[in-house]
Structure 1
Amino acid sequence: MTLQTPSSRDNNFKVYFGSTLLFLGMTLSLFVICPLVVLAIVLPFRMRYRIAGLWVKWVLWLAKVCCGIDYQVEGMEHIDPSRTSIVLSKHQSAWETLAYREFLPMHSVLLKQSLLWLPIWGWAMAMLKPIAIDRKNQRAALRKLLDKGGESLKSGLWVLIFPEGTRTAPGESKKFSAGGALLAQQSGYPVVPIAHNAGVYWPRYSFLKYPGTIKVKIGPPIESKGRKAAEINAEAEAWISDAMKEIGN
């Protein structure tokens, strides 16, 4: 299979125009939805999460209408909302950080602390119980992940982690960090691996978005009770690697 990348496609007027409409629609709507999320601090967390979810639905609709980006999810039978889990996912773009809120149970995401300092978006994100860490202090970051991640899981929130740590280009991969697997080992909650090829259509660090259907593949839960973090991590990494080969990117 030939690896499809944005650089191999024509950047025609339709691509530029659609990407511009998506950018404007996303940006302008932030000035409406983010203040609502912040003001909703007086409401139950579930309500704040639902309000933020309206923006996600809007962005996904814009992506489909303006840029021709749709998505298909395989393996939803592996998602049991009644069984709180840790998600270890491939990370290629900003798309998955949004779209996962549409089809995964309510979750807390591991992210850089500096993102919460961003005006408007960061303030709203801070209302959604993220696990914000300072990557420059790895020891403190791991401790916070284990402490806050454990609290989230016990409260019924899933925890979303991108173990590669940063976005990778289609066809590339980075070694998984052990934080998510350590959380699984310590807490005993299962790990759900997810692979996708969003970077082909919603590239990292790129203004342009390209038409196509993003493929998302969800794997069966990986049990963690009585297992070492290294074993859990290796199984999740191997599953995602194999799934990425099946997807083709």
Structure 2
Amino acid sequence: MAQPNISYQNNNFRIYLGSAVFLVGSIIATFVFGSLVLLCIIFPFNVRYRMGKGWAEAVLKLAEICCGVRHEIEGLEHINIDSAAIVLSNHQSAWETLAFRCFLPPQTSLFKQSLLWVPFWGWAMATLKPIAIDRNNKSAALRKLISQGTGALKEGLWVVVFPEGTRMPVDKIVSFSAGGAMLAQKSGYPVIPIAHNAGKFWPRYSFLKYPGTIKVKIGPPIASKGRKTADINKEAEDWVKLAMQKIDQ
């Protein structure tokens, strides 16, 4: 977990109180919006998706009010809302899984199958066209990513992939797995690389949230047609690593 600086240590009570209020508020928001999504199951996908996006926006607003967690985004001009794409991003916390739904076009993403059994939240997510995989069966998971990911892209949905596979510490980026790049190579859709430092203020697996501004960098599209999977993956990984260095500076 990222270590808070001195200014945080001098304000521990506010951090603990804000984090506690945020936790309670986010649980309530999950129950409310999860129920609404389930009630809207008879309506078209875009109606349920808007409800899910509303939940993400509500949780992020709670984080801002209760914990002082804000964000700024650079590179929104690289987002083409009229064309689907595959996002390859570093993974540091739960923040990006929420925030990407707020500033990126309608999307699907990889989920552990077990998460879809979580009451209300998991049930609701199951109606939003997730790509649910069994991480213990990597070959089957890759096949599902390629088949369902390609189908989603053809429907106009973006596909969000965290190629590190799990949430990483703030100061660490591991080599990208090739699944997302392979999806790009086989489908022909471009890759949009994204870098962020969310773990600095919303640490992985931590109850505490620290005040500050999360920085997000969105890169230009990486072409995939006629290219090798390894080349696509390396270009995305190199861009994210360089962007993270700039964010740290």
Q: Same fold (TM over 0.5)?
A: yes
Whole-Å Cα distance in 2 between the matches of residues 248 and 43 of structure 1?
44
- What is the aligned partner in structure 2 of residue 113 from structure 1? 113
Task: Please give the residue correspondences for 1:51-130 in structure 2 after superposition, counting only pairs within 5 Å.
Answer: 51-130=51-130
DSSP 3-state at the match of 1:159: strand
- What is the aligned partner in structure 2 of residue 6 from structure 1? 3
- What is the aligned partner in structure 1 of residue 141 from structure 2? 141
Whole-Å Cα distance in 2 between the matches of residues 240 and 29 of structure 1?
32
| Structure 1: gaps spanning 5 or more residues | none
Give percent identity, aligned residues only: 60
Verify the 8 A CA contact 1:6 1:203 in the aligned structure 2.
Answer: no
- What is the aligned partner in structure 1 of residue 184 from structure 2? 184
Q: 1:86 deviation in Å?
A: 0.3
Cα deviations by residue, 1:136-183 (Å, 9 ceiling, x for unpaired): 011100000000000000000000000000000111111111000000
Verify the 8 A CA contact 1:6 1:201 in the aligned structure 2.
Answer: no
The aligned amino acid for 1:138 is K
TM-score by length of 2: 0.96
Q: 1:6 deviation in Å?
A: 3.0
- What is the aligned partner in structure 2 of residue 45 from structure 1? 45
The aligned amino acid for 1:78 is H
- What is the aligned partner in structure 1 of residue 153 from structure 2? 153
- What is the aligned partner in structure 2 of residue 246 from structure 1? 246
Whole-Å Cα distance in 2 between the matches of residues 91 and 31 of structure 1?
25
TM-score by length of 1: 0.96
Cα deviations by residue, 1:79-124 (Å, 9 ceiling, x for unpaired): 0011110000110000000011110000001121111111111001
Verify the 8 A CA contact 1:201 1:211 in the aligned structure 2.
Answer: yes
- What is the aligned partner in structure 1 of residue 214 from structure 2? 214
Cα deviations by residue, 1:16-72 (Å, 9 ceiling, x for unpaired): 000011100000122211011012111111110101111111111111111001100
Whole-Å Cα distance in 2 between the matches of residues 144 and 112 of structure 1?
12
Moved over 6 A (4+): none
DSSP 3-state at the match of 1:177: coil
Q: 1:5 deviation in Å?
A: 3.4
| Structure 2: gaps spanning 5 or more residues | none
The aligned amino acid for 2:234 is A
Whole-Å Cα distance in 2 between the matches of residues 198 and 235 of structure 1?
22
Whole-Å Cα distance in 1 between the matches of residues 29 and 65 of structure 2?
16
Count of residues in correspondence between the two structures: 246
Root mean square deviation of aligned Cα: 1.3
